[in-house]
Structure 1
Amino acid sequence: MSDAPVLRAPVRPVPVVRDRRTGVVVVSLLVAVLSFVGVWLLWRVFVDTLAGQEVDNAALQGARYGQTQLWRVAEHVLDVVSVGFIATVLIAAMLIAALRRRWSLAVQVAVLMIGANLTTQVLKNHVFEQTWFGVEASYGNTLPSGHTTAAASISAALLLVVPPRVRPWAAVLGAAYTTATGVSTLIGQWHRPSDVVAAVLVVLAWTAIACALVALTPPRVPTATGALRIPTGREADRDATPATMRAVVSVLVVVGVAAGGAAAVAISHTWHNRNELTSRADQLTAYFGGAAGALMASCLAFAIMLVLRQAAAARPGVVGTDVQSTRPPGSYA
């Protein structure tokens, strides 16, 4: 018999992958819950109390100043939003997802748009009520704003389906369009500031839910062997734009915080002087605070949406290596 030495099968390193999708799901659902809580707080403070109604009404009255000139632009912004337009964007977003062969994403877009717009109508017409405290003639509850919900949900849907390189710019355009629509409803005296901010929070909640669904979707396995492929080189550059992401998120947050500071100052002044809000200066201050609040909500919401969407779509990362034999156990040379 031969006494030749036994040769061990060669080994090769195998990536050890960490999947952070569970954390993304938890954070997304937390954002959704906090957003819905925020909607309830806005109703409780600005609709269900005398002081809140007085502050909101001051902003509504301030919209009268300069309305003739501003309405020429605002009317065209609001005319864009309609049931047909929402349906067209929904179909277009689902088509983009289908062309990218992201069938589950098409369903998630439908969940976002239908969920957000249906939630707004249910809350406005069947859940929230407005008690008339004699501030002005009561037209019933108007929180959240349907037009702002439609604009924000359209923008959020496109943020979900566009390729990674386009997402930052979709977030910027979405924040701008949502702000323009929300402020236009203030100019036309269709809605009060709290209605607009509540609408943005409704869309943020449903976008977070959609991102949780994206994270729960199993990652695609493109290799024939079923092994996870980590993108490198030019492919990684196409899929990830970290510098642009950081820049866009930073700009949205800075603008949102600055607008929030301005809104806080204006609301504080209006709140402490709510019994004497008959002067033009006081009403314009309230109006300015409401517009700044709409800008704050839109910028911060789309910054959060962008971060959640990017995190939900991120591939699992390599955190180390293990070894695996290229031959089955017991195989010898």
Structure 2
Amino acid sequence: MKRAFMHEGKEDRSLEFAHPGKPCDEARLANIESTLGKVLPPRYREVIMTTGGGILGINTRVILDSHSSSRDDEVFHIDQMWGNGATTNGSDNNIDSVVPFLADEYQIPDSVLLFATSNSGMHGYFVINYYLEGYPPGSVLYVDDEINGQITKISDTFDQFIGNVQQDTESPSGRDYGTPQLTPVEGAKKGALSEDLIRMVDTAPVRDAEELVRAAAAQKVSQEKPYAIGSDENSKILLDIFMWLLSGYRPVWNFDDFAFGRKETSSPNFDTIIKDCFSTGENYMGFNYSRFKLNMWWDDRVGNGFLVNSGQGYQFKEDYLNSLFNTLRETL
């Protein structure tokens, strides 16, 4: 269910969450601010209280202050704005639990507060400035992690940031949504695959590789929270299949290489493989996952001896793969 931001009793459709979190009260906001050690801007407090934050529509963008939006380098698309509770598709959306973890993982300084990601995930993200030198306190900044942490000031205040959010109705999203109105299981069985995944399926050593990956996806999305990759066994099996395909296509040297690839290359990785796969149609947002959950799966598979370093990268043991394939083939 979509939910638009409510400001002064009116809906602001430019800031509409496709998968919203859970609205909250002042007491919960006080708890969030206490955990973060920061007072949130009043407008951001409004967003969280009325919508819970969450995952935005695919064409939500923000433009720079006092600039035309006609040039690509002046437009920044927003994917998720953290707030409160889980989103309606099962993603952890609690800013006071997700953001401290990510800030530590990505070494984001305490002088700013991470609050949103772009459509490239943590390769590009938005922060509120508190005392980072060279930028106005309260300003919203965009950090491009792929260009050595290059910082662009988006707006002087959070109010201006929200005022500059709009729906990009003229630009195509670049996603293939396939046949509209499919169920999650139908999307898993016949929705489009990413280009990276197609290449890996084509070079896989078994003839039914596509059937196996679709069977694993169908098992996963048949659950209550279909697109949330967590610590359940069906999530692990889906990750196993993606790792098997990726490690057969190129060496995978460690967890980061599997999950996000290497910055110095454009090598396929889990993030690029799963992106836009198994579409159910219009407004399909795809799978959501955190570095923490992916790392838990990796540690589990390595710790149990299923995934081993062969000297040519990490690979699954053959007996484990045979068991996995047999289990999935029984569902076909």
Task: Name the structure, 1 or 2, with higher relative contact order (CA <8 Å, separation 6+).
Answer: 1
- TM-score (structure 1 length as normaliser): 0.27
- TM-score (structure 2 length as normaliser): 0.27
Higher fraction of helix? 1
**Which is higher, the Rg of structure 1 or of structure 2?**
1
